[in-house]
Amino acid sequence: MPAPDIARVRAEIDALYRKDSRRVLATLIRLLGDFERAEEALSDAFRAAMEKWPAEGIPQNPTAWLVSAGRFKSIDKQRRDSRFEHLEDRPDVSESLTDQTTAPDDQELLEDDRLRLVFTCCHPALASDAQVSLTLREVCGLTTEEIAAAFLTPAPTLAQRIVRAKNKIRDANIPYEVPAKEDLPARLDSVLRVIYLVFNEGYLASSGETATRADLSGEAIRLGRLVLELLPEPEVRGLLALMLLHESRREARADEAGELILLDEQDRSRWNRAYIEEGEALVREALSSPRAGAYSIQAAIAAVHAEAPTPADTDWREIVGLYDLLLRFTPSPIVELNRAVAVAMRDGPEVGLAALDALLADGELDKYQLAHAARADFCRRLGRNAEARRAYARAIELTVQGPARRFLEKRLAALPVA
Amino acid sequence: MEPPPFDQLFERAADKETPVKYLCLVYLSAEKWNACSDSACAAYAGQLQDSGKLIDGKPLHPVHTATTVRVRNGQATITDGPFAETKEALAGFYLIDARDLNEAIQIAAKIPPAKYGSIEVRPTRELVVDPAEVERYAAAAS
């Protein structure tokens, strides 16, 4: 076989791995009933593809081929391992499985094994931080290191957390299924929280040189859409709207060098109008329900920004009002901070600074770099340069290397020397 | 070779295995100890029994009737009271058969005292034995 073709096949397999390996894994978990076996089967399947496809060509349905190959290899392994020899465990593909006993009701509800996987990874019987770590690892394919960086946790601790969660799934027999209809609403909160965390991980990497990771955000949006189809609840709509509205600014958010561009300096012609329209429609629908909550309101705030043709046209009064509403759902210092920034935009930096200093006095925002960055900005606009300098320095201290840190360093350097 | 479509490969592992046994431990505080009548508990136990999911279950006398036994260095120590003082104390147990944790949780949620206390749901396991060792231990004990 001529070399370029082998290279092409390998490139296709790499692309397939990036795009579909999680989907294949989710299906293998369902078929093999075990996370570890499924992961082994996944690597075996891709290895088999590397061996066979250059000669046989790429199959019509590559993911189906991979699932099949992975499954056969795993069952083969089990057969050879005598501990697992059960007579009734001999799967024979030619055995007619179409006359199997009735599938459970929830089978009809969804096609996507990844949704099953999400609900399982977000099971309330698992520790809350384990739910997030497990979903990021199993559904989104993040490495342990990437997850550890996102949560400022040492990688071995994170790895242990995931192992413990998988052990619990196995030992307590947490089933690989979508919850029964009556349990769905409660189980959904868990899932939404995790999806949003994944989106944010893709939107702004916690460390490193790239400001955004496009594939994770796309993944989170796709998951949001799937969940919305299954459960058309206002908060699912709200979360999807929020993600779409944030994502609409992807092209404008960083320059070619990967440097951050703030909202008020972005080229709004580069915003994705289709996403904005979709997001705005979802927000309107979500807010019309009494069950709208924090995600829907945050999406509404994002929508107010999205409809302003220029930064000066931004309706800051409406935004402050929305933050007031948001505080009723999620009273937190961070929401208060964002409200203070909006107040500054509406009423001027002096008023915003007063509000912000009241928050900082409480101590809760002291380790939060955005609080100091905001303070620095207010001081800068008021010409209080020495204070601005101190605040930028503190913010920089708290920011890990990357575009956000470089942005702050530039602002600091731009302050007048006096 | 065209592989079969996904849904035809479907094989629910749970259908091939026996149900899992879970122990549901009922914990109640002193104030809530009598919140559920025995009749309410009997009614639920009867339902579970009829469904074939109840293996065994018993209510317990209150915690002041407990005695704790510990053996250290060949010495048995007997103390009055439970193994540890806790706000909620063990009030009873159900040993159930369930398809998986989700079913066990659904069953536990309907145990009448669940409204007033806590139900711990724990999967049981089989002892992992080496027959030769078992014989040695048994011989040593006799």
Decide if A210 is inside a domain: no
Question: Could you give the residue ranges of the DSSP H alpha helices within chain B?
Answer: 6-9, 13-16, 38-50, 101-110, 131-141
Final residue before a domain boundary, out of A82, A101, A119: A82
Higher pLDDT, A250 or B109: B109
- Of residues A71, A125, A183, nearest to B101 (C-beta): A125
Note whether B112 and B42 are within 8 A (CB). no
Q: Looking at residue A53, what is its pLDDT?
A: 92
CB contact under 8 A, A71 and B16: no
Final residue before a domain boundary, out of A28, A62, A82: A82
| Structure confidence by residue, pLDDT tens digits, B10-24 | 334 444 456 789 999
Q: Looking at residue A212, what is its pLDDT?
A: 44
Report chain A residues touching chain B, CB-CB < 8 A: 27, 30-33, 60-61, 64-65, 67-68, 71, 88-89, 91, 93, 97-98, 100-101, 103-104, 107, 123, 125, 171-175, 177, 179-180, 183
Q: Mean of the pLDDT values across residues B31-38?
A: 94
Where residue A17 sits, what CATH number does that domain have?
1.10.1740
- Of residues A67, A71, A173, nearest to B100 (C-beta): A173
Decide if A214 is inside a domain: no
Higher pLDDT, B85 or A255: B85
Q: Mean of the pLDDT values across residues B48-77?
A: 95
Note whether A125 and A172 are within 8 A (CB). yes
Chain B hits for A107, CB-CB cut-off 8 Å, are 7, 10
What's this model's pTM, rounded to 2 decimal places?
0.65
Q: Looking at residue A305, what is its pLDDT?
A: 95
Decide if A27 is inside a domain: yes
Rg (CA), chain B: 21
- Of residues B5, B11, B20, nearest to A173 (C-beta): B20
Where residue A352 sits, what CATH number does that domain have?
1.25.40
Q: Looking at residue B28, what is its pLDDT?
A: 97
Domains along the sequence of chain B with CATH? 30-100+110-115 (3.30.70.1060)
Decide if A304 is inside a domain: no
| Structure confidence by residue, pLDDT tens digits, A88-136 | 444 443 232 322 332 333 333 335 687 788 899 999 899 888 888 888 8
Residue B77 has pLDDT above 60, yes or no: yes
- Number of independent structural domains in chain A: 2
- The residue in chain A having the minimum alpha-carbon distance to the alpha carbon of residue B126 is A171
Decide if A63 is inside a domain: yes
Decide if A409 is inside a domain: yes
Decide if A54 is inside a domain: yes
Amino acid identity at A332: S
Q: What share of chain B is helix, strand, coil (3-state, %, to 5)?
A: 35, 30, 35
Q: Is B32 left (phi over 0), alpha (psi -120 to 50) or beta?
A: alpha
Final residue before a domain boundary, out of A36, A63, A82: A82
Q: Looking at residue B98, what is its pLDDT?
A: 94
Decide if A269 is inside a domain: no
Q: Looking at residue A286, what is its pLDDT?
A: 96
Report chain B residues touching chain A, CB-CB < 8 A: 2-16, 20, 99-102, 105-106, 121-123, 125
- The residue in chain A having the minimum alpha-carbon distance to the alpha carbon of residue B15 is A101
Q: Looking at residue B17, what is its pLDDT?
A: 58
Q: Looking at residue A264, what is its pLDDT?
A: 84
Structure confidence at residue B43 as a pLDDT band (50, 70, 90): very high
CA distances A397 to A92, A335, A364, Å, are 61, 22, 17
Interface A-B, measured as beta-carbon pairs within 8 A, has a size of 64
Domain that holds residue A401: 346-418
Instruction: Flag residues of chain A having pLDDT under 70.
Output: 1-4, 82-112, 150-152, 204-215, 230, 418
